[in-house]
Structure 1
Amino acid sequence: MSGHSGYHARTAFGRVINTIEETLIAVLLGLMTLVTFVNVVLRYGFNTSLIWGLEVTLILFAWLVLFGISYGFKVTAHLGVDALTNVFPPAGRRVLALIAAACCIVYALLLLKGAWDYWAPFAALQPTEGRWFPTGFTEGVRDRAFYVTDQVPMLGMFRWLEDAINYGEEYEKLPRVIPYTILPVGAALILFRIIEATVDLFLGRRDSLIASHEAEDAVEEAAARAKEA
């Protein structure tokens, strides 16, 4: 049941999230390739470059990584070691998988809290109180909405942020709140995918959170092809 072929969104909300997720991953990968290609052509063909190209590529890569984490949970693509759990009978493996899933949910919740607390000041919002779990919102934390990227130019579509969070001050570069938005969004998506996978584990729709025996499957597939040849 592992692998991307086994995933099917079972609700309208799941289908919407799935479409957005896969579209964004494709767009991010395409933009990274395009910006890098253009920079190479400009550098070697015209002895110039996009001064913001490297920073944009790094931002896109960070977004791609965080979306990729949640996508990996969705398609059961994360690697893991199952040498110990395979010693147990199927019922024992299922219990251990559910325990692992519960640990992942706790970790994802902590990750979401940390992501929000880091991002919130850049959006002129307040981080949460509580060291481990949110117990409210902290008051009086100085916002960091005035922080901008190093080289990425300001886009007109985000000018509304100047009045919304920067007290009417004009941004010369793209504010960091934009690229940092992936932190709470990515963490929330990871939590959603882990909960979804845990429900599937509980209902018996899948048997693991990790990709198992892919190396053995690849060897068997190669051997089968060799015999056919």
Structure 2
Amino acid sequence: MASFEEIFIAVILALMTLVAFVQVVLRYGFNTGITGALELNRILFAWLILFGMSYGVRVGTHLGIDTLIRTFPRPVFRAFAVFGAAAALLWAVILISGDWLTHLGATTRGGGAVDYWWRFFRVGTGLDDLMYPSFMREWAGQDRVHRWVAYLILPIGLGLFAMRTLQALVEIVQGKRDLIIASHEAEDLVAENKDALRD
């Protein structure tokens, strides 16, 4: 799973770079371009962010301010660390599907990422500019790429984030990890990697 996350993120970054490079060459070299290139890059960027959230939790690169809670005694500090991880997990669960909040008396205007994605799947609307390749159009039933294809990362990304947050919560409880965020506002990461560019 860890290798898949890293490969997937690298592929998205490579695709974004390739699409942007080809578009610039076509536009300024041949006065033409790829229809939907900007929209494709926006979608890839969204996929990178939503997929990268879980990766950031796994490797502990999300930034946070822990100066105050580090001054507390160790048991109080751990309680805050557990609370922070539990709050992140609750945030992910609410964003995945918030329908269950109605049982607590909350009023929602939709059920979260799963409901949002399901609506686009049922309706079948297409993206603004991004088109299917010609050999896929008959199979897809339309020319434009379905919007649900692009938005599939919403439930997947949030589900992965919830999974990694739950893992981090368990590790904090077991004492294998201090926080869900990078400790000391990433000072440790800066110190560890200060010579990285020299290599």
TM score, norm. by length of structure 1: 0.73
Distance in 2, Cα, partners of 1:116 & 1:42: 38
Matches within 5 A, 1:3-14: none
Name 2:131's counterpart in structure 1.
153
Distance in 1, Cα, partners of 2:86 & 2:29: 54
Matches within 5 A, 1:33-112: 33-112=17-96
Change (3 A) 1:102 1:158: farther
Amino acid at match of 1:190: F
Name 1:201's counterpart in structure 2.
172
Amino acid at match of 2:187: A
Distance in 2, Cα, partners of 1:103 & 1:61: 26
Change (3 A) 1:195 1:149: same
Amino acid at match of 2:170: V
Provide the alpha-carbon RMSD of the alignment: 2.0
> Which secondary structure state, in structure 2, belongs to the residue aligned with residue 78 of structure 1?
coil
Identify the match of residue 187 of structure 2 among 197, 215, 223. 215
- Alpha carbons 2:26, 2:32 under 8 Å: kept: yes
Give the superposition deviation at 1:196: 0.8
* Structure having the higher Rg: 1
> Which secondary structure state, in structure 2, belongs to the residue aligned with residue 150 of structure 1?
strand
What percent of counterpart residues are identical? 43
Name 1:127's counterpart in structure 2.
none
Distance in 1, Cα, partners of 2:69 & 2:96: 29
Give structure 2 stretches of 5+ with no counterpart: 98-111
Give the superposition deviation at 1:218: 3.3
Name 1:123's counterpart in structure 2.
121
Of structures 1 and 2, the one scoring higher in RCO (CA 8 A, sep 6+) is: 2
Distance in 1, Cα, partners of 2:37 & 2:15: 11
Change (3 A) 1:198 1:157: farther
Count of residues paired in the alignment: 179
Amino acid at match of 1:122: F
Give structure 1 stretches of 5+ with no counterpart: 1-16, 125-143, 163-169
Give the superposition deviation at 1:174: 0.6
Once the two structures are superposed, residues 16-49 of structure 1 have per-residue CA deviations (whole angstroms, 9 ceiling, x without a partner) of: x223222211110000000000011111111111
Give the superposition deviation at 1:92: 1.4
Amino acid at match of 1:173: R
Distance in 2, Cα, partners of 1:67 & 1:24: 9
Point out the structure with the larger helix share: 2
Change (3 A) 1:52 1:19: same
Change (3 A) 1:92 1:157: farther
